[in-house]
Amino acid sequence: MVKRTSVWDTGCPVARALDVIGDWWSLLIIRDAFDGIRRFTEFQNSLGIAKGMLAARLKGLTEQGIFELGPASDGSAYREYSLTEKGRGLFLIIVALRQWGEDYLYAPGELHSVLVERSSGSLVGRLELRGGHGHPLDWRQTEVRKIANA
Amino acid sequence: MVKRTSVWDTGCPVARALDVIGDWWSLLIIRDAFDGIRRFTEFQNSLGIAKGMLAARLKGLTEQGIFELGPASDGSAYREYSLTEKGRGLFLIIVALRQWGEDYLYAPGELHSVLVERSSGSLVGRLELRGGHGHPLDWRQTEVRKIANA
């Protein structure tokens, strides 16, 4: 969660995003949150992460406005971490990571979890790059326009 | 690049993807490659990263089949890193990071680079989650189906 100022200030949204969530544990914590995990001990059990490391990541992500900490939904004394709107905005990053992992990191026949539409059980579609009019784009058809001080 | 075996083996493509490219520097190197950077010194100048760290990252990403190292395209003695098909598959992860960064990490009026369609100069469309029949999906309408040993 340390801001690497030289990169943060470049005017590149990719670099800035990575400055906030570009930590392996943070993205796994966020993945778990999308799977419905909300409590400290649940994150700990799911990830097998040391308490101190988990506490630091959750604190940082809360300070960044990605999680908010509130009372438990069941009225118990537990405190729960829930994704804010900003945190929920990370879903497509998780989906993009998943789809690339599915494409390139499994041997034929090797099992992995899948993301499905809950109502039908059918697989979620692939993310696609499209132009402003909805036409499909290949990455070679795009370019980054940098700002003057970037 | 160290494989965290306990997570790699969970059957979660997100975890496996992060195991391979879930390093802040690696994703910035890959971003630069999509911007056309191919040579060691160009990466170094762009990122301001220590030589040893850059060398280790490029070596790891090459071993993972994300880059391939070959002769310079201009016939000079330089060696160039180019993205493989597996590496080019990472583009939507970079785009997803960019769009989230644009949405949440800039103050109103603060300048940042933009991703455009080269031919028209118009902004690339937003990534969208869709169902198998192309209908828009909210993350709440999805769920992860885990495999038995995940």
| pLDDT at position B6 | 53
Q: Return the amino acid letter for A46.
A: S
Pick the range with the lowest mean pLDDT from A8-12, B28-32, B97-101, B127-131: A8-12
Contact B141 A119 (CB under 8 A): yes
Which of B97, B123, B143 has the CB atom closest to A14's CB atom? B97
Contact B139 A24 (CB under 8 A): no
Contact A98 B127 (CB under 8 A): no
CB A65 within 8 A of CB B56: no
Q: What Å distances lie between residue A145 and B88, B113, B129, CA to CA?
A: 19, 5, 25
- Residue to mutate among A100, A102, A145, with most B CBs inside 10 A, is A100
Contact A124 B129 (CB under 8 A): yes
Looking at the complex, does the CB of residue A50 fall below 8 Å from at least one CB of chain B? no
Q: Is the pLDDT of residue B86 over 90?
A: yes
Shortest CA gap A56–chain B (Å):
18
Query: Which residues have C-beta within 8 Å of that of residue B19, sequence separation ≥ 6?
Result: A24, B3, B4, B7, B8
Q: Which residues of B touch A130 (CB under 8 A)?
A: 124-125
Direct distance between the N- and C-terminal alpha carbons of chain B, in angstroms, rounded to an integer = 22
Spatial separation of the C-alpha atoms in residues B135 and B138, rounded to whole Å:
10
Which of A28, A112, A132 has the CB atom closest to B18's CB atom? A28
| pLDDT at position B3 | 46
| pLDDT at position B7 | 60
Which of A94, A95, A131 has the CB atom closest to B117's CB atom? A131
A19 DSSP 8-state letter: H
Q: What is the pLDDT along chain A (150 residues), one digit of tens a residue?
A: 344 545 666 667 888 888 777 777 899 999 999 999 999 999 999 988 899 999 999 999 999 999 999 998 888 888 999 999 999 999 999 999 999 999 998 888 888 899 999 999 999 999 999 998 889 999 999 999 987 544
Q: What is the percent of chain B with per-residue pLDDT over 70, rounded to a whole number?
A: 91
Looking at the complex, does the CB of residue B56 fall below 8 Å from at least one CB of chain A? no
Max CA-CA distance within chain A?
54
| pLDDT at position B24 | 77
Calculate mean pLDDT across residues B53-64: 94
Distance of CA B45 to the CA centre of its chain: 19
| pLDDT at position A10 | 65
| pLDDT at position A148 | 59
Looking at the complex, does the CB of residue A69 fall below 8 Å from at least one CB of chain B? no
Spatial separation of the C-alpha atoms in residues A26 and A23, rounded to whole Å:
5
DSSP A75-124: SSS-EEEEE-HHHHTTHHHHHHHHHHHHHHSS-TT----EEEETTT-PBP
Confidence band of B20 (pLDDT split at 50, 70, 90):
confident
Confidence band of B81 (pLDDT split at 50, 70, 90):
very high
| pLDDT at position A3 | 46
Q: Return the amino acid letter for A125.
A: G
B106-145 pLDDT per residue, tens: 888 888 899 999 999 999 999 999 998 889 999 999 999 9
Q: Which residues of B touch A91 (CB under 8 A)?
A: 129, 139
Of A54, A50, A42, A111, nearest in space to A78 by CA: A42
| pLDDT at position B85 | 96
Q: Return the amino acid letter for B117.
A: E
Looking at the complex, does the CB of residue B53 fall below 8 Å from at least one CB of chain A? no
Looking at the complex, does the CB of residue B139 fall below 8 Å from at least one CB of chain A? yes
Contact A106 B134 (CB under 8 A): no
A85-106 pLDDT per residue, tens: 999 999 999 999 999 999 998 8
